Structure 1
Amino acid sequence: VRHGEHLSNGSSNTIRIIEVNHTTGILLSEMTIEAPSGWDAEAGFGATLAVVPNADGKGGDALLVGLPFASQGGLAAVGAAMLLFLDAGRRVVASHTLVPATP
């Protein structure tokens, strides 16, 4: 299971992603990616990330990030998510905000 943690340290704005074996508690992997522009640095980060590898098994991943992302008028209040596309170097090359349809 991978979890995300938002790190904001002065001028840097990064997201640290860790993968932990929940049975043993052992850290399996760790990486840091640059947060995309518009990321809400003040809201913190406690969401779980769903990691979707590319179909060819090469290249980057897509990360489905839950809350928070609140720079577009409080999207966090309606349960928005953000999809980040990473290249093979784990850099964010594109991002897309997902907002639930209103009933």
Structure 2
Amino acid sequence: MESICLDNNFKLSFEKLPHTVRLIVLKDGEEWVCRKEKLANLFSFIEADQQFLFKGRLQLFKRDDEIVVQVRNTIIGTFSNQTFKEALNKLK
């Protein structure tokens, strides 16, 4: 399972499933929210002009060259597009 460390003891982890990837936000090591998405859709989010990914509690959006993670309308962390792409490439 790949992970990206965020701010304030939050972590975004990626769990590979047979047909999708499960994105999990951990708070102090415990699962807080998650979302399943196809790997191809995650790559297309990075490459395309698409600004937002997901609706609901867990949302990702692009700002300049970084991706912002928002949970329940609160920004919990940011990381670079390159970091996101590297994590996704390890799931192929």
| Fold shared per TM-score above 0.5 | no
Task: Identify which of structures 1 and 2 has the higher relative contact order when contacts are C-alpha pairs closer than 8 Å and 6+ apart.
Answer: 2
Select the structure that is richer in strand.
Answer: 2
The alignment's TM-score, normalised by the length of structure 2, stands at 0.39
Instruction: Tell which structure's C-alpha radius of gyration is larger.
Output: 1
Q: TM-score, normalised by structure 1?
A: 0.35
Higher-helix-fraction structure: 2
